Amino acid sequence: MRLPHKTFEKKLFRSGYRRIVAVDEVGMGCLAGPVVVCAVLFNKKFFAKSHKKLRWLRDSKLLSPKQRETFFQELMRVSGFRFQVCYCRPKTIDRLNIYRAARTAMRRAVKKLGVRCQVSGVRNIRTPKFNLKSVTCNLKPAIVLVDGKTKIAGLNMPQVAIVKGDRKVFSIACASLIAKVTRDKMMKNYAEKYPDYGLEKHKGYGTRFHQAQLATLGPCKIHRKSFAPVARLL
């Protein structure tokens, strides 16, 4: 199994960056519940350590719930990083659409970290390993690594969008993990309020059981009414 690694982040630090922000989201394809985003801010000291207990940390989708919780607790014990979690509720998703809602949460999460760019020169950073042509940026600011094809609009910071970044880049895998653990806990809480949908098991994804319960019971308040399987029942 190929694991996400710290090579890219270390290269960025050697190139003059002081901090790295990694961003990922969970819950994009769910029929119920919020889309949750985590932005994690790392400093150089974090990547100077080996973190042996985090060696097998990877994309949260490739981990069992027990593994996610173990890695989450271990990550919370180490120093050299901090994070912010933001989310958009179903009503916002229905109003904006899922993509715009996720990007809104991404902007909020990064801005809540309070990172500001410091202008002191220009340098090109080449990253052929990730099929990126180049990144032109100010020296010694923070840079944002975004999982996916596109950068975060409305964010005045250097950014790199990395397709499947949660499987390639360690910092993005950390953001994925925190976002997933946080959202799963939210969905378990929702399951207590709406007990008949099995939210604690499928976390809002469109499983066969979930859609059967939807057809029988109809949508509840946390279902995304703009999503086709829910919209058909309205």
pTM equals: 0.90
SS3 169: strand
pLDDT digits (tens, 9 = 90+) for 5-57: 999 999 999 999 999 999 999 999 999 999 999 999 999 999 999 999 999 99
Q: What is the DSSP string of 216-232?
A: HH---TTB-TTSHHHHT
pLDDT digits (tens, 9 = 90+) for 125-140: 455 455 444 444 445 6
The stretches of the chain forming alpha helices (DSSP H) are 7-14, 44-47, 65-77, 90-96, 98-112, 165-168, 170-193, 199-202, 208-217, 228-231
Q: Among 6-10, 140-144, 196-200, 203-207, whose mean pLDDT is lowest? A: 140-144
**What pLDDT shows up at residue 103?**
98
**Domains in the chain, start-ordered, CATH in brackets?**
7-229 (3.30.420.10)
Number of C-beta neighbours around residue 64 at 10 A: 8
Q: Which residue has the tokens 């042509």?
A: 133
Nearest to 109 by CA among 57, 58, 34, 41: 41
- Residue 227: is its pLDDT beyond 50? yes
- Residue 116: is its pLDDT beyond 80? no
Number of C-beta neighbours around residue 92 at 10 A: 17
